[in-house]
Amino acid sequence: MKKTSIAVLLALCLALTALCPAFGEETAPAEAVTAEALAEWAGELKARALETTPENDPADESADMEDGIQFLYPFATLFADRAEMTADTRVKTVVIASAEEASFRGIEMSMTPQELISLFPNDNPDLAGTHDMALLYLRETEDGGILYGRVYRDGQRIYIVEYAHLVPAGDGYRLAMLTCSFTESLLVSFRAEGFGDTGDPLLGAEDRDALSRELHSLAAAEEYRAVKSSRDGASLTPFGVEDLVFSGLDFLALQPEDMPGTPETATLDNEDGSSLIRVDGDGYVAVFMSDSEGTRIVSLSLEDESLEGPRGVRLGDAFHEDLQRFRFEDRGSDGTTEVLYGGEGEVPRGIMESGSLDGLALRYVTALPDGREAELLLRYTLSHLSEIILHIQ
How far from chain centre, in Å, is Cα 109? Answer: 14
Higher-confidence residue of 24 and 260: namely 260
pLDDT at 2 over 70: no
pLDDT single digits (tens) 129-170: 999 999 999 999 999 999 999 999 999 999 999 999 999 998
pLDDT single digits (tens) 322-335: 999 999 997 767 77
Q: How far is CA 240 from CA 30, 169, 393, in A?
A: 34, 53, 15
pLDDT at 10 over 60: no
DSSP state of 129: B
How many other C-beta atoms can be found within 10 angstroms of the C-beta atom of residue 305? 13
Cα separation, 29 vs 391, in Å, equals 45
* CA-based torsion, 295, 361, 321, 22: positive or negative: positive
- Percent of the chain at pLDDT > 90 equals 84
Angle, alpha carbons 22-24-28 (nearest 5°):
85
Rounded to two decimals, the pTM is 0.89
pLDDT at 69 over 50: yes
pLDDT single digits (tens) 312-358: 999 999 999 999 999 999 776 777 889 999 987 899 999 999 866 56
- For the chain, the structural domain boundaries read 27-220, 233-392
Query: Residue 359: beta bridge partners?
Result: 356
Categorize the per-residue pLDDT at 9 as very low, low, confident or very high, splitting at 50, 70 and 90. Answer: low
Cα(first)–Cα(last) distance of the chain, in Å? 29
Angle, alpha carbons 373-362-256 (nearest 5°):
50
Q: What is the mean pLDDT of residues 48-68?
A: 97
pLDDT at 188 over 90: yes
**CB distance 360 to 337 below 8 Å:** no
Strands 172-183 and 249-250: what pairing? unpaired
Cα separation, 54 vs 73, in Å, equals 5
Residue 322: which of 112, 23, 20 has the closest Cα?
A: 112
208: left (phi over 0), alpha (psi -120 to 50) or beta: alpha
Residues contacting 345, CB < 8 A, separation 6+: none
Cα separation, 116 vs 190, in Å, equals 11
Categorize the per-residue pLDDT at 302 as very low, low, confident or very high, splitting at 50, 70 and 90. Answer: very high
Identify the three-state secondary structure at position 157.
strand
Instruction: Cite the beta strand spans of 103-145 per DSSP E.
Output: 133-140
pLDDT single digits (tens) 270-298: 999 999 999 999 999 999 999 999 999 99
